[in-house]
Structure 1
Amino acid sequence: MAKSIEDHCHGLRCMDAGDLAPPVTVFTRHLTVLGHKSLTVSGYGAAARHLAQWLTLTKIAVVDIDDGVADQFARHRCRCRGIRRERGVSVKYVSRVRRVIEFIGERGIIQRKPKPALPTPHRRVVEFQDWLRQHRCVTELTIDRHGRMVMRLLPALGISPRSWNAQLIRHVQRRSGSHWPL
């Protein structure tokens, strides 16, 4: 049986989950049922309580939680009450918070906004991705990432591929902040 939050804290000052306490409990039980180790469950529970504490401090209502809130949480300079005293939060910690948000969204506790549909890849981008598959032996993840990069660059490059050259592409990349070796 999963330990309660009070048992886990051993008398230490844990962060208070406040309005999110019931969903945090359901989430940690869910992880336990899935067979996760107690260390993993406690790590996710701590991240969920930290999110709840931060929401209280920033006066963000539970119903207003969205992916933007997770991004704000990721950037906050932690001054939250409890045993955590860090300047920021790690990428791993934020991914745990995102998983908590996803879980409570799936349970209908918060209203998740539908994710915007990805733009349909341009015909030439699809051809480029097919070429990468055939000739460069790169993973699907890399092919997808290159395709998304090209899709972001296309509006700035213009509609005439004949006018594209390495100098123009580098210039557009620098302006967009994209990094992609040519």
Structure 2
Amino acid sequence: MSKINTIFNRVYRPLATQAANGEEFEQGSMRKQFIFEVTTTEDKAIQLTKNGAASYYQMCRQRANGKDMYGSHKKWNKKNAEAVKAEKSTDEGQIDQPVIEEQIKPEVNVDMSNRWLVGNKAEKHVFASFTTRTAAQTHNKELKEQGVDSNWIDGSKINKEEFTPVAVGQ
């Protein structure tokens, strides 16, 4: 029997029954009680650290609700990212709308002296520049969500003279 099955049957199910009966827990909540029991047990087969117990509690809740126990891990898998996005948009009944140029606000701050750039490497265009990499990555993510083909670029690793500053979407 796997570790998750053992923990689910020995610890989670009795606690879920106790919660369904309206009984109170020594530690205050079902989650805290679960973590306490799994971290302080003498049985080495199911003993976990506090962080591990929190993860197993979430997995047990997912299993009890009939969902995929590993669903939270799968959403970060790049292979499944597109499928998750498509599923969310169809679940909400929303249809993906094409990006209209008017929806994208043109970026006016294109200071080529800053190190971090956001643009299109293939077309050698620069849409914006930033002093920090984090700001450039955030802006690039926003542009990608709007449907703009863009990349964040380290200006110290390219020849900036080859790149042309342009407004987004041109």
TM score, norm. by length of structure 1:
0.26
Q: If each structure's strand is expressed as a fraction of its own residues, which one has the higher value? A: 2
Q: If each structure's helix is expressed as a fraction of its own residues, which one has the higher value? A: 1
Bigger-Rg structure (1/2): 2
Greater relative contact order structure (CA < 8 Å, 6+ sep): 1
TM score, norm. by length of structure 2:
0.27
